[in-house]
Structure 1
Amino acid sequence: MSEHIQFQRPDGKTASGFYAEPAAANAPGIVVIQEWWGLNDQIKRVGKQWTDAGYRVLVPDLYHGEKALDEKEAEHKMNDLDFGDAATQDIRGALQYLKQGSDKVGVIGFCMGGVLAVLSAMNNDETDVAVSWYGIPPEEAGDPGTISVPLQCHFAEQDTFFPIDQADAFEEKLKAANVPYEAFRYDAPHAFGNEDWDYYDAEASKAAWQRSMAFFEKHLKG
C-alpha cells in the first residue's frame, strides 16, 4: 500500500509526504529524505525499495508540493530551505508518525537529504539509526560528536558538492567523540546512486545499497 498522507509536526503544523507500508504488521520504519529535486518519482521509487525490503516508509515533502526540474532550480530551492526547521519539524514529525506503529525507526537521506539525516541523528531523539549518502553538515549546524545512535556514511571520492576533504574532517570529529559509525568511500561522483541523473554509477550504487540494507537489517530488525 502506498499513498500521500498528512501528519503533524511537533509545532502543531501539518506536513505531508509519501507513505508506503509492507503487508507485515509492526514492521520497523524508515524516513527517506529527498535530494534537492523534491518529492519526485525517483525518491518515491527509493522509498518503495525499502517497503519491498519490509519497512514502513515515509518520505516527507520538504518543498511542500514543489519540485525542481533542473539543477539551477534545485539549487535555489535547497538554498531557500530552512534546514533546522526541516530536520526538527518535518523530519521529526515523520519519525513520530512512524513511531506510532513501529518500535524502531531509522532515517536515510541522499545529497541534501544526507545532510538532514545526520542532523536528525544529532537533534531528534526518535532517530534510532541514520544513513547518509554524500551529505555532510556544515560546521555551524552543530557538533556531530553528539550523535549517540549508529551512523553509516557513503562518500564519493569525486564529489564536487561535498569534497572528500570535508568527509575527512567530518570523520575525525566522529572518531574523536567515539560516535558508533562506519563510513565507505567510492571511486564515483556525487549522486552516484540516482539512476535518473548523469552521475549514476551502477557498481557503486549496488555496493552502497547492500551496505545500507545490512545496516538497517542489523539495527532496526535485529
Structure 2
Amino acid sequence: MILSSASRLTTRTLALSPSSPSRTRPLSFSITSRFQVRSMASNSDFKKIQIQRDDTTFDAYVVGKENAPGIVVLQEWWGVDYEIKNHALKISQLEPGFKALIPDLYRGKVGLDVAEAQHLMDNLDWQGAVKDIRASVNWLKANGSQKVGVTGYCMGGALAIASSVLIPEVDAVVAFYGVPSSELADPTNAKAPVQAHFGELDNFVGFSDLTAARALEEKLRASGIPYEVHIYPGNAHAFMNRSPEGVARRKSMGMPDEDNTAVELAWSRFRSWMSRFLSQ
C-alpha cells in the first residue's frame, strides 16, 4: 500500500528517546504541570471483572454480547478514561457484535493532563503490560469468545502491534497511531494480521508520524502476514477521539483538526478487518 506524503507539522514537536527493553519510547511534551493521579470513574455500561496473571490481579471492564468475538481494547497514555470507554462501547455495538474488554494497565490511575499521562506511561512496565494483554485475551477465550483481537490507541496502538508479535493467542490486530520500540517487539516478526491507522499530520516523531508509518509498513510486508496501513490526510494524532471532552483536550494540545468522515472510514475499516479475521 502506498502511503501519501505530507509536510511535517512543526508546532509542538514531540521528542522520542531510547528506552530500556521493558519500555517503548516515551512521548515527551514541552509542557509542565503538577503531577497528581486521579482515580478512574465508574461506568454503568461496563461489567467490572478481575483477571489473574502470574502473581498479580488487575481490573478489567467488559461490555458487549456474551458469546461474540472478543476484542481487547488498550488505553491511550491517559489511562482508562472516558475516551477509551467510548471506543470500547462503539466496538461492542459494531455489526455483527463484539465483546470488548479494557484491561486497566495503570491499576486504577488516570492522568488528566499531559504531565500526569507522561508520568504514568514513563513508569509503565511494558513487558508486564503485554502479560496483562495476554491474560485478557485468554480470559475472553475462556468466557465465550472463540477468537479474540486486540486494538489500541497511541500507547495502546503500540502495545496492540506488540501483541501481534508476542502473544500467540491473538487472532487479529488493529492499531491506531502507535508503533512499538524495537526493544519491545519487532513487527517483522508479527504473527497475527495487522491493520494500522495514522494521521498525515501526526508529529509524534518516530512513534506515529509518517516516517514511523512507512517503516511499520515495510516491516509488516517482510513479516508475510496480511496487513493494511492507512493514512488519513489532514488529520493529526488521536484523530479518533471525538467526544466533546476529547476534542477540547486535543485542541489544547495543538491538534485542532476535526474530520468525522475520516473517523467513520476508520471505523468501517476496523469493523471489516475484525469481522474478517474473528468470524466464528
- Give TM-score, length-normalised by structure 1: 0.93
Q: Aligned pairs, how many?
A: 218
**More displaced 10-residue stretch of structure 1: 204-213 or 106-115:** 204-213
Residue segments in structure 1 that go unaligned for 5+ positions in a row: none
Query: Counterpart in 1 of 2:224?
Result: 178
Question: Would the aligned equivalents of 2:64 and 2:100 in 1 still touch at CA under 8 Å?
Answer: yes
The aligned residue for residue 96 of structure 1 is 138
The answer to whether residue 54 in structure 2 is matched with residue 7 in structure 1 is: no
Counterpart of 2:268 in 1: which secondary structure?
A: helix
Distance 1:117 1:35 in 2: 11
Query: Which whole-Å CA distance do the structure 1 matches of 2:113 and 2:59 have between them?
Result: 23
* CA drift at 1:108: 0.5
Contact 1:36-1:75 at 8 Å conserved across structures: yes
Q: Distance in 2 between matches of 1:112 and 1:201?
A: 22
Give the distance between the partners of 1:28 and 1:110, measured in 2 at CA: 20
Determine which structure has greater relative contact order: mean sequence separation of CA pairs < 8 Å that are 6+ residues apart, divided by chain length: 2
Cα distance in 2 for residues equivalent to 1:104 and 1:201: 32
Q: Distance in 1 between matches of 2:92 and 2:55?
A: 28
Q: Alignment partner of 1:139: what SS?
A: coil
Matched, 1:21 2:79: no
| Counterpart amino acid of residue 87 in structure 2 | V
Can you list the C-alpha shifts for 1:46-74, whole angstroms capped at 9, x where unaligned?
Answer: 11112222111110011101101011211
CA–CA distance in structure 2, aligned partners of residues 124 and 182 of structure 1: 20
Given that 2:88 and 2:102 are in contact with CA atoms closer than 8 Å, whether structure 1 keeps it comes out as yes
SS at match of 2:129: helix
Task: Provide the C-alpha distance between the structure 2 equivalents of 1:206 and 1:108, rounded to a whole number of angstroms.
Answer: 16
The reply on whether 1:215 has 2:273 as its aligned counterpart is yes
The aligned counterpart of 1:119 is 162
Q: C-alpha distance in 2, partners of 1:42/1:66?
A: 15
Residue 18 of structure 1 deviates from its aligned partner by 1.0
Q: How far 1:122 moved relative to its partner?
A: 0.7
Shift of 1:12: 3.7
- Equivalences for 1:128-139 in 2 at 5 Å? 128-139=171-182
Return the offset for 1:86.
0.2
Q: Which residue of 2 aligns with 1:164?
A: 210
Q: Does 1:36 align with 2:77?
A: yes
Q: Does residue 110 in structure 1 map to residue 110 in structure 2? A: no
For 1:126 and 1:16, the matched residues in 2 are separated by: 20
> Residues 77 and 201 (structure 1 numbering): CA distance in 2 closer, same or farther, change over 3 Å?
farther
Identity %: 42
Deviation at 1:2, TM superposition (A): 2.6
Residue in structure 2 matched with residue 193 of structure 1 by the alignment: 240
Query: How many angstroms apart in 2 are the aligned matches of 1:4 and 1:142?
Result: 30
Q: Alpha carbon RMSD of aligned pairs, Å?
A: 1.4
Counterpart of 1:149 in 2: which secondary structure? coil
The runs of 5 or more residues in structure 2 that have no matched partner are 1-44
Compare CA radii of gyration and give the structure with the larger one. Answer: 2
Q: TM-score, normalised by structure 2?
A: 0.74
